[in-house]
Amino acid sequence: MTGQRHRHLVVPVAVLLAAVALGACRSSSRPVVARLTVDGQADVSQPGEDRAQVTGSRGLRVDDRIRVRQGTAEIRLGDQHIELRQGSDVELRAAGSRSRTTPELMGGDLLVTSGTGPFALRAAGVDVSVSGTARVSRGVALLVATYKGFVTMDADGRSLTVPALRQAAVQATGGLPPRVTPLEYSVTDLWDQRYLSDAIELGNQLASRSQGFSAQVGDDARSVKAFRSLFPQLAAEPSFDAPLFNASRPPGESLVGAAITLAGTNGTFSSRWAAVFAFRDDGASWGLVALDQGVDRVGVLDSVQAAIARGPTTFAAGSPGSGTGTLPPPSGGAATTTTTTVPRSTVTTRPAGGAGGSTTTTTRPPSSPTTTTPTGPVNTGSPVIDDTVNSLVDTLTGLLRSLGGQ
């Protein structure tokens, strides 16, 4: 009886061991298609299996699902890779054969960088092909934002290309949007900071100068003639004429747009002008507009500042005979201060020669305040402080000049 009971026990145990061995064999037979590296904590699971906690590096196979619980992670597929962060949820799907895979974003964010060829993935029923670097986010809507290169989105028989510095959102109702929009960034997003930090800072600086200049000159600079005085290069540009120039645009906006257009080299002057203001009118920050045109940051700032320095002479301080001189452009972005005193009335009399000899009598001008005008930006090393202070200074300067001219 005892031997018979042992035989009855051996059979189930053998079946169990065989099943385990078969599962292990099947698992080990599936090829590794990607490599996961975790800086924090992530879970990896297969359909019908318990989740495995990963804190370092391991191989990934088709049907693996990866969820980042803490920190960040990276998945490499050959020369292509995707970055994940807390909340990212992605599954590796079979593509054509068991040795190939297409990641599918189930939730959260991915930073996708292609290699020698486009990087294909899926999200919310949309086929996404990245040629460059892009952020793909899936929440209430699917959002694709392109940092470099371009992204192609395909869904329901339609295709949409998302160029660099643009984005496209697919709402939960489905269907690709009719057009792309300027990329919306966040100053607290680490991926945005990695690829757009210079553009973000430049945008703040240009916006403050634009607002200050508009307050400084008012409506006096809303003409082609005025801008030819601000930018000598425009005087030699035959295509810069009334049909191209929008007089209803705030002078500061035209000022920054003209500086970026002149610094650009892609296409004709007219095509660059149109592209600059079309992107800006769509809602792009000036920093993104400058980056889109591939212009030098320092050169654009110097050009804008030099034009602002010419502005007070031409528009705010009266005619060329009013006793003021052209303010020199700043050197290397350093802050400079010029003090200009404009007398309201000065009369010099020289009597005809007589017995008393030659004398000159000068009537003292009425007392007038001395205006100190900062012509260069404050540079404390903190962009937030600098831009705030410069914007306020530019605005107050314009108000003081307008009061002084009454």
Going from the first residue of the chain to its last (406 residues), give the mean pLDDT of each consecutive group of 10, the final group possibly shorter.
50 43 49 94 92 94 96 95 97 75 96 96 96 97 97 95 97 89 97 97 96 85 92 94 94 97 96 98 98 96 94 48 33 39 39 43 43 48 55 57 49
**233 and 379 share one domain:** yes
**135 and 217 share one domain:** no
**Is 14 part of a structural domain of the chain?**
no
**Is 359 part of a structural domain of the chain?**
no
**197 and 183 share one domain:** no
Give the span between the Cα atoms of 258 and 278, in whole angstroms. Answer: 13
The DSSP string of 97-164 is EEEEEEEEEEEEEEEEE--SSPEEEEETTEEEEEEEEEEEEESSSEEEEEEEEEEEEEETTEEEEEET
Contacts for 154 with CB less than 8 Å, ≥ 6 apart: 126, 127, 129
* End position of a domain, from candidates 170, 187, 204: 187
**86 and 103 share one domain:** yes
**204 and 176 share one domain:** no
**58 and 135 share one domain:** yes
**Is 137 part of a structural domain of the chain?**
yes
Buried b (16+ CB within 10 A) or exposed e, 327-365: bebbeeeeebebebebeeeeeeeeeeeeeeeeeeeeeee
- What domain count does the chain have? 2
**259 and 213 share one domain:** yes
Residue 220: what pLDDT?
A: 73
Residue 3: what pLDDT?
A: 53
* End position of a domain, from candidates 166, 187, 208: 187
Residue 383: what pLDDT?
A: 52
Give the span between the Cα atoms of 379 and 136, in whole angstroms. Answer: 36
Residue 49: what pLDDT?
A: 85
The DSSP string of 242-276 is TTTS-TTS-HHHHHHHHHHHHH--SS-HHHHHHHH
Please report, to the nearest 10 degrees, the dihedral formed by the alpha carbons of residues 155, 161, 167, 172 taken in order.
Answer: -10
**Is 358 part of a structural domain of the chain?**
no
Q: By residue range, what is the domain housing residue 249?
A: 191-343+368-404
Give the span between the Cα atoms of 219 and 194, in whole angstroms. Answer: 39
Residue 269: what pLDDT?
A: 97
Q: How far is CA 339 from CA 33, 58, 159, 280, in A?
A: 69, 67, 59, 35
Here the CATH number for the domain that contains residue 109 is: 2.60.120.1440
**Is 17 part of a structural domain of the chain?**
no
pTM for this structure?
A: 0.72
| Strand pairing class (126-138; 142-155) | antiparallel
**218 and 175 share one domain:** no
**115 and 228 share one domain:** no
* End position of a domain, from candidates 187, 209, 226: 187
Residue 216: what pLDDT?
A: 85
Residue 25: what pLDDT?
A: 43
**142 and 282 share one domain:** no
**206 and 136 share one domain:** no
Shortest CA distance to 132 belongs to which of 110, 152, 156, 115? 115
Contacts for 170 with CB less than 8 Å, ≥ 6 apart: 124, 126, 141, 142, 143, 153, 155, 176, 177
Residue 50: what pLDDT?
A: 87
Amino acid identity of residue 146, one-letter, is T
Which H helix or E strand runs over 351? none
**Is 133 part of a structural domain of the chain?**
yes
**Is 9 part of a structural domain of the chain?**
no
**335 and 210 share one domain:** yes
**Is 321 part of a structural domain of the chain?**
yes
